């Protein structure tokens, strides 16, 4: 899933400083799971902002709505009525959600309430960790199911570098060395031979910096 983190409330308050009719929009997908942009978080943020505004003597209104998914136009369309009444939309969706709302409502000011962080999963209650860098050319079959592109701090394809010690990355003792993990797992599986081939330079054309990537599945298209 997409994992995001809340922007500090002071920053959010600044982003909506000029609004008198604010709409805060939640999303029922990833950000609900990582507990930063679901219905509950939307209501908590609305209450906090209302208190701040009241303290500042402001007389604005703050409305809320949480939709199934901010990354699909048909759900974003459900916001039409409330968006019309608002002068600013604060999205608690990921960066995709913010942009889909902005695209759907060209005359409306839309701001992000979250910092979209990474593609990851839940490692324990309340802790989410990155697993995928969306490079567009998966090589997990070569590395025992552990991604060196995103989990190695230098994205080394022929690791480990000289900084790996006692299982840690040179950056921090709290960061496991991805290549130690790869080595241990392949050793356990009896597949260390996979590490003997020199991996060639990666073709990054499937990754970022070629404009927005697009995936088309023709059989899913509706005329």
Partner 1 sequence: MTAADAAQAAAAAGAGGQGDGAAGATSGGPRGGGCRTSSRLERVLREGHFAVTCEIGPPQSSKSEGILKHASVLKDYSDGQNLTDNQTAIVRLCSLAAAVHVIRAGGEPIMQMTARDRNRIAIQSDILGAASLGVRNILCLAGDHQTFGNHPGARNVHDIDSLQMVQMVRAMRDEKKFQCGDQIKSHEPRMFVGAAANPFGDPFEFRVRRLAKKIAAGAEFIQTQCIFDMDRFEKWMRMVRDEGLDEKVFILAGITPVKSDKALKYIRTVPGMKVPDELIKRMEGAADKKAEGVNIAVEMIQRLKEMKGVHGVHIMAIAWESIVPEIVERAGLYPRPEVEVEEPAEAEVAVG
Enumerate binding residues for partner 1 (CB under 8 A): 153-171, 177, 180, 183-184, 192-193, 195-202, 204
Closest approach, Cβ 139 to partner 1, in A, equals 13
What is residue 90's DSSP assignment? E
How far is residue 73's CA from residue 100's CA, in Å, rounded to a whole number? 7
How far is residue 23's CA from residue 86's CA, in Å, rounded to a whole number? 6
Of the pair 198, 222, the CB lying nearest partner 1 is at 198
Could you give the maximum distance between any two Cα atoms of the chain, in Å?
69
Of the pair 131, 168, the CB lying nearest partner 1 is at 168
Closest approach, Cβ 14 to partner 1, in A, equals 22
The token pair that represents 11 in the structure block: 């920053």
Closest approach, Cβ 172 to partner 1, in A, equals 9
Q: Give the chain's end-to-end CA distance (angstroms, integer).
A: 30
**Nearest residue to 3 via CA among 175, 134, 171:** 134
How far is residue 179's CA from residue 202's CA, in Å, rounded to a whole number? 17
114 contact partners, CB below 8 Å, separation of at least 6: 4, 5, 6, 7, 31, 36, 37, 91, 92, 93, 94
Closest approach, Cβ 160 to partner 1, in A, equals 7
Of the pair 54, 208, the CB lying nearest partner 1 is at 208
Of the pair 86, 186, the CB lying nearest partner 1 is at 186
Closest approach, Cβ 202 to partner 1, in A, equals 8
Of the pair 107, 166, the CB lying nearest partner 1 is at 166
Closest approach, Cβ 120 to partner 1, in A, equals 20
Of the pair 86, 146, the CB lying nearest partner 1 is at 146
**Nearest residue to 42 via CA among 32, 54, 56, 51:** 32
DSSP 108-132: SEEEESEEEEEEEEEEETTEEEEEE
Three-state DSSP state, 15: helix
Three-state DSSP state, 156: coil
Closest approach, Cβ 151 to partner 1, in A, equals 13
Of the pair 79, 149, the CB lying nearest partner 1 is at 149
């Amino acid at each position: 899933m997409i994992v995001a983190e809340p922007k500090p409330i002071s920053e959010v308050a600044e982003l909506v400083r000029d609004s008198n009719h604010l709409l805060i929009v939640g999303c029922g997908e990833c950000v609900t799971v990582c507990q930063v942009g679901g219905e509950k978080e939307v209501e908590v943020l609305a209450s906090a902002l209302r208190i701040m505004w009241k303290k500042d003597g402001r007389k604005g209104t703050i409305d809320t709505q949480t939709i199934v998914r901010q990354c699909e136009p048909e759900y974003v369309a459900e916001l039409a009525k409330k968006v019309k009444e608002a002068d600013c939309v604060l999205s608690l969706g990921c960066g995709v959600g913010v942009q889909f709302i902005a695209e759907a409502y060209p005359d409306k000011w839309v701001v992000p309430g979250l910092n979209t962080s990474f593609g990851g999963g839940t490692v324990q209650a309340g802790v989410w960790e990155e697993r995928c860098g969306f490079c567009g050319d998966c090589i997990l079959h070569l590395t025992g199911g552990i991604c060196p592109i995103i989990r190695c701090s230098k994205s080394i394809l022929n690791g480990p570098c000289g900084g790996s010690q006692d299982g840690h990355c040179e950056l921090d003792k709290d960061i496991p060395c991805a290549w130690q993990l790869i080595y241990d797992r392949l050793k356990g599986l009896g597949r260390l031979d996979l590490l003997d081939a020199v991996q060639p330079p990666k073709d990054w054309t499937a990754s970022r910096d070629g404009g927005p990537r697009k995936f088309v599945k023709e059989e899913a298209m509706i005329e």
